[in-house]
Structure 1
């Protein structure tokens, strides 16, 4: 186990450039073209929404920590870097990821109990033989080269909370926590370090707070340990208008010119000199934003990476509004039965 993130296997082996992930998926597409064409599934991000919901279903029947679900989602991301979704029993793999993550996060359950509870939920897809889950666990561990320790953005967010200059409110922290939860539906855990995801979530939360009231989002007082141990995973996903609200908030920020489309404006701001010039305007109009900008400058954060992460999160919320659980269930069911993955 690594003593810190910088020497961890996650930092050394499980961070990829966007083009590397695209190349891996293109190769999977070529190798499994027939199955992919015969059994089309929803967008990858929506499939992760589907799997997250299955993890939460199983978690509610067992004692678990929220971080266990986050770790399981990272395991699934890593597995599908090298495997097509059409070639595996999604329900069995999800149950296995939960079982393995529960051991990694030190809240283990007996394999027979996990199989029993999973069969109660999805009897047509989970074999009654615990050895099948054990075989899938071995496969999952093998795909990850036994590198199971995952560093999450939650720890970085707690550090940001302690920074008195940032003066983050409970409302902002709660929103940032929800955005981090939602980031696991994207490729961000495979592309960016956890601290950058946490800082991006914090920035979006600060920008978003003034416009969120129209969406009727509840923001409870933050107790980090209780949130990690919670039986729910707070989210902004699925609410109509979230992506537009965030985009409008960004567009209205003095860091961005309001007459330009947000996505185009974000991509155009890759020049650091231009960004710094605009942030001076923001700093002059918002004390909190001034402190955030000072923090970003002092921390030497990769602003371009933050912009890319922001766009990924906005795109997720746009896509999430199209999610239909029934459609996803039917597509997954057809695939599993058609490929005889339920035997």
Structure 2
């Protein structure tokens, strides 16, 4: 496995600019009613990958890798010309191999079919679609250019931070990644400060930073910025939710100095000084100085932090039963009220983004949130319009779907 991020394919080929992202979604913009729906689709698909990964008992790192594969694939493809649910299953199947925790293809197909049909009403896989997933994996690896090594912010977070001494060290997610702490960290130049010491965080603060990193995969941050910058931004936002105690505000206990006689032998002076130093309390850390000493652009960290807050603001208007933590973080970071929009003439709140022609089954009962059922309907509509337009222009279906159908027929 590559240990130098700066020499990796991740840095050289898969850190892109916003112009590339806009170009990747240019075709989808032709078939969607509101461009903001595409941002919600990014959140929706990341949640689907997380659900499928948990059903397959993936570690968080494997789920994150699958999400990165999905976003890289759609740098070269559009939602309206492919079936994202097939791509999600292929990304999870491939990520399990890349992270050395492979799962049998039949298990992936079975769990995907159950999740997609029962939860989202999407019948992507039948009972014998192993060849369909294997074919999609082939095209996925081709579009990823065989670049399967992905760097994540988790390693930087655990390299920069540790739990405060005396705190409870039991953390399910932390223990899952303990084996990876320090792997490849000492190879090549460090990219933070002097590398001396780590920042001590309470278990709650460390868990919050970890959760913020998990949430960043709902956006395109993993394609725009190196992972260590995202980790530092997560630490910065953690200080908003868990304010650090400044050293000057900590009262130092008054430790009495031992009495010494003028007749004491000089050879005992060194021992007495060492004992006095050991009895003194440890100097508290200054988190602000720690961040300031990092060899990073603090304005860039502030920019990433603002983008994470913007993600929470958007996510706050997306309702799914499995994302209460995200809503809580959104409330705390943005200090925003309920995402209910201005009421219309009839007194009922509107989302402000749903077209007037949209049916009531596309939103939840209150009509205040963007829901998975609504986004599924948006995706189906986009694909149907695109398929019809392409068939009228060329007289044949879109290529990638035709190849998948041929592979399914052969199987």
Query: Which range moves more in the overlay, 316-325 or 113-122?
Result: 113-122
CA contact (8 A) 1:92 1:125 kept: yes
Q: 2:110 aligns with which of 109, 116, 121?
A: 116
Query: Do structure 1's residue 180 and structure 2's residue 227 form an aligned pair?
Result: no
CA contact (8 A) 2:80 2:382 kept: yes
Query: Do structure 1's residue 79 and structure 2's residue 112 form an aligned pair?
Result: no
Residue number in structure 2 paired with 1:291: 286
CA distance in 2, matches of 1:191, 1:145: 18
Query: Do structure 1's residue 192 and structure 2's residue 187 form an aligned pair?
Result: no
Equivalent residues in 2 for 1:251-266, closer than 5 Å: none
CA distance in 2, matches of 1:33, 1:207: 36
Residue number in structure 2 paired with 1:275: none
CA contact (8 A) 2:153 2:213 kept: yes
Q: 2:299 aligns with which of 291, 304, 317?
A: 304
Residue number in structure 2 paired with 1:106: 100
State which structure, 1 or 2, has the greater radius of gyration over its C-alpha atoms.
2
Deviations along 1:155-196, whole A, 9 cap, x unmatched?
111011247563211111111001000111112111111111
Q: 2:374 aligns with which of 324, 327, 333?
A: 327
Q: 1:335 to 1:33 in 2, by over 3 A?
A: closer
CA contact (8 A) 2:199 2:285 kept: no
Q: 1:33 to 1:179 in 2, by over 3 A?
A: closer
Q: 1:121 to 1:161 in 2, by over 3 A?
A: same
Residue number in structure 1 paired with 2:136: 136
> Which has more helix, going by share of residues?
1
CA distance in 2, matches of 1:68, 1:337: 32
TM-score relative to the length of structure 1? 0.69
CA distance in 2, matches of 1:335, 1:18: 23
CA distance in 1, matches of 2:209, 2:29: 39
Q: 1:40 to 1:73 in 2, by over 3 A?
A: same
Q: 1:165 to 1:136 in 2, by over 3 A?
A: closer
Q: Secondary structure at the match of 2:310?
A: helix
Q: 1:68 to 1:41 in 2, by over 3 A?
A: farther
CA distance in 1, matches of 2:233, 2:289: 15
CA distance in 2, matches of 1:48, 1:332: 12
Equivalent residues in 2 for 1:217-256, closer than 5 Å: none
The alignment yields a C-alpha RMSD, in angstroms, of 2.9
Q: 1:187 to 1:285 in 2, by over 3 A?
A: farther
CA contact (8 A) 2:66 2:91 kept: yes
CA distance in 1, matches of 2:109, 2:207: 34
CA distance in 2, matches of 1:32, 1:55: 21
Give structure 1 stretches of 5+ with no counterpart: 211-252, 254-281
CA distance in 2, matches of 1:33, 1:208: 36
CA distance in 1, matches of 2:310, 2:58: 30
Residue number in structure 2 paired with 1:265: none
Following superposition, the deviation at residue 111 of structure 1 comes to 1.4
CA distance in 2, matches of 1:18, 1:289: 41
Query: Which range moves more in the overlay, 308-317 or 155-164?
Result: 155-164
Q: 1:46 aligns with which of 33, 40, 44?
A: 40
CA contact (8 A) 1:72 1:100 kept: yes
* Number of positions where the alignment pairs a residue of Structure 1 with one of Structure 2: 267
Give structure 2 stretches of 5+ with no counterpart: 118-122, 163-195, 251-282, 319-370, 388-396, 406-411
